[in-house]
Amino acid sequence: MDPSLTHRILILGGTTEARELAGRLAGRGDLSVTLSLAGRTVNPADQPVPVRSGGFGGVEGLAGYLAKEEIDLLIDATHPYAVRISANAAAAAALSKVGIVALRRPPWERVEGDRWTQATGGAEAAAALGATPRRVFLALGRQEIGPFEAAPQHAYVIRSVDPIEPPPAALRATYILARGPFAEADEKALLIDHRIDAVVAKNSGGPATYGKIAAARDLGIEVILFRRPVPAQAGTVETVDDAVAALDHRLAGASDRGV
Ligand code: NAP
């Protein structure tokens, strides 16, 4: 295909959906796709398209990248709790007049039997655990553990992709290194083996990390869930299929305008 007819796509990733979307677009001759990772994970999962890694340097850095790489369409497929990069993506796209599609999994909805408490961030979640010592499973990222140092009366099980270095000195904790997806049966075994009576997690949505929510429901265990940081914006799509459709729609519109 004539390279001038190839549309250049940048996917901001770090999620299962971003990898799936990249896989869907990888074989298309009309697209040249790059996937961007923050570069925090030591051994990131393999990706089906070329990867660039590390921050861009804020809105202006990202806008500069979009211009230099002549990106035609930006797809923000970052995690629903990655608010800074999403805000930067929206601002950089507006600044550069590059189209943007946001792909966000919808949050999990409460079903009968769930014992959920909603919290806005770590400090509120730590307080919601209460004064009485409990056995708590923290299914959070490395940067989100700090506020639990204010609640040292509890015993924690902390699961993360990379080691938490240095481990918070004030916390009595067992560390587990693991990368999802996590099956419900395994999550149930973990909750039982560690005699967990509270789970703290983000409302990430999607099936890959839902196992702990279903297992907690089954065992009657309380789940303290971080509220979604920002409500879904207009124009956001929820599935990889819809992201592909939105991309095709945008690119067809751009071609019609002779862009
Ligand atoms: P964040 O707080 O929204 O972003 C912090 C900074 O990291 C951004 O300003 C940007 O630096 C850089 N960055 C983030 N995502 C990037 C990407 N895909 N490509 C290039 N630079 C990126 O992000 P976060 O919550 O730390 O998440 C970091 C990454 O982990 C994201 O890719 C996200 O999808 C993934 N992730 C996050 C969570 C979560 O719970 N937050 C869970 C699973 C996966 P510059 O300003 O220098 O450009």
**pLDDT averaged over 10-residue windows placed end to end, the chain, 259 residues:** 80 96 96 96 89 98 98 96 95 96 96 98 97 97 93 97 89 94 97 98 95 98 95 83 96 68
User: Does the C-beta of 113 come closer than 6 Å to ligand 1?
Assistant: no
User: Does the C-beta of 14 come closer than 6 Å to ligand 1?
Assistant: yes
Query: Which residue lies with its CA nearest to atom 11 of ligand 1?
Result: 55
User: Does the C-beta of 157 come closer than 6 Å to ligand 1?
Assistant: no
Confidence (pLDDT) at 216? 98
Query: Which residue lies with its CA nearest to atom 30 of ligand 1?
Result: 14
Query: Which residue lies with its CA nearest to atom 46 of ligand 1?
Result: 58
Which of 72, 134, 76 has its CA nearest to residue 101? 76
User: Does the C-beta of 44 come closer than 6 Å to ligand 1?
Assistant: no
Which of 241, 14, 199, 21 has its CA nearest to residue 108? 199
Confidence (pLDDT) at 71? 98
Q: Which residue has the tokens 């809105």?
A: 59
Confidence (pLDDT) at 255? 66
Residues in CB range of 12: below 8 A, 6 or more apart: 18, 36, 74, 75, 76, 77, 78, 85, 89
User: Which of 85, 138, 159 is the pocket-test mutation for ligand 1 (most atoms within 8 Å of CB)?
Assistant: 85
Confidence (pLDDT) at 259? 46
User: Which of 53, 79, 100, 160 is the pocket-test mutation for ligand 1 (most atoms within 8 Å of CB)?
Assistant: 79
Q: In b/e form, how buried is each residue of 122-153, taking b as 16+ CB within 10 angstroms?
A: beebbeebeeeebbbbbbbbeebbeebeebee
> Distance of alpha carbon 66 from its chain centroid, rounded?
22
Which of 119, 151, 105 has its CA nearest to residue 132? 151
User: Tokens at residue 183, please?
Assistant: 């099956």
Q: How far is the CA of 78 from the centre of ligand 1 (A)?
A: 7
User: Tokens at residue 90, please?
Assistant: 């929206």
> Distance of alpha carbon 252 from its chain centroid, rounded?
29
| Closest ligand 1 atom to Cα of 81 | 41
Q: Which residue has the tokens 């509220």?
A: 227
d(CA 188, CA 1): 51
> Residue 11: which H helix or E strand, with range?
strand 7-12
Query: Which residue lies with its CA nearest to atom 24 of ligand 1?
Result: 82
Q: How far is the CA of 117 from the centre of ligand 1 (A)?
A: 26
pLDDT in tens, 24-64: 999 999 999 999 999 988 888 889 999 999 999 999 999 99
What is the residue-averaged pLDDT of the chain? 94
Q: Yes or no: say if 7 and 251 are a contact pair by the CB < 8 Å rule.
A: yes
